[in-house]
Amino acid sequence: MTKKEQLYEGKAKKVFKTDDPEFLIVSYKDDATAFNGLKKGTIAGKGVINNKMSNRLMERLEKSGIPTHYVEEINDRETIVKKVSIVPLEVIIRNIAAGSFSKRYGVEEGFVFETPTIEFSYKNDELGDPLMNAYHAIAMKLATPEEIETIKKYAFAVNEELKKFWSGCGVTLVDFKLEFGKLSDGTVVLADEISPDTCRLWDSKTNEKLDKDRFRRDMGGVEDAYAEIMKRLNEHI
């Protein structure tokens, strides 16, 4: 498959057309942003880590029966994916309180939930990705009720699969963000990425943060944390 013109440059990835209209190539950058683009920086080596981690995890999810956009890793930073029409919702699953949840509801970071939670944000940078419930999403025709049900089912299944995998690596899966899209025939599949940019991952023994919070919160050791989490994945995949 040949890489054609760039379709889009996002905050963390570039997206290219290919000679086949059903497929795209995504290229992972080292650029990092936080707080809706307000904070900008780079994390050396992040693009390679996020590309490989996302691909290994999506392969695993496919094996467990969750359809994804993943097709083939072509080099350290680039991957062929199935082209989807993105459902403009950020789907967030939480096992433990952290980040915006802790802030919004006054719950201490680290509070372990009775059961996992799901929430949606409207994927709209201008509006700052506001929280949105399923009724709003359906009313705005962002997704049908059936698509919402499928997305919820897959998102919780992803959580179970990833919790299990990360636990074997000595890592606690605190929360994460997923994006889903529709193939040309309407099939809903998991898209975008699963990486330390989009998940909170804590060392199970020490609760040390091994994810993008180190960048968001100026904690230092960002590159080392990305390298450490990738090492754990490689040892257990």
Q: What residues line the site for ligand UDP (CB under 6 A)?
A: 90, 92, 98-101, 129, 175-177, 198-200, 212
Q: What does 181 interact with, of ligand UDP, ligand ADP, none (CB < 5 to 8 A by kind)? A: ligand ADP
Q: Could you tell me whether strands 89-96 and 112-122 are parallel, antiparallel, or unpaired per DSSP bridges?
A: antiparallel
Size (the chain), residues? 237
Selected binder of ligand ADP within 179, 214, 229, 233 (CB under 6 A): 179
The option from ligand UDP, ligand ADP, none interacting with 69 (CB < 5 to 8 A, set by class) reads ligand ADP
Choose from ligand ADP, ligand UDP, none: what does 116 bind? Cβ within 5-8 Å by kind.
Answer: none
With binding defined as CB under 6 A, does residue 80 bind ligand ADP? Answer: no
Contact with ligand ADP (CB under 6 A) among 16, 24, 77, 165: 24
* Contact set for ligand ADP, span 189-208 (CB under 6 A): 191-192
Can residue 151 be called a binding residue for ligand ADP (CB under 6 A)? no
- Nearest approach in angstroms of CB 3 to ligand UDP is 26
Q: Report the SS3 class of residue 206.
A: coil
Beta strands in the chain (DSSP E): 3-9, 13-18, 23-28, 31-34, 39-42, 70-73, 78-82, 85-86, 89-96, 112-122, 131-132, 171-182, 188-191, 199-203
How far is the CA of 8 from the CAs of 17, 33, 126, 234, in angstroms? 9, 17, 17, 30
Rounded to whole angstroms, the Cα distance separating 175 from 63 reads: 22
Contact positions toward ligand ADP, by CB under 6 A? 8, 10-13, 15, 24, 69, 81-84, 86, 179, 181, 191-192
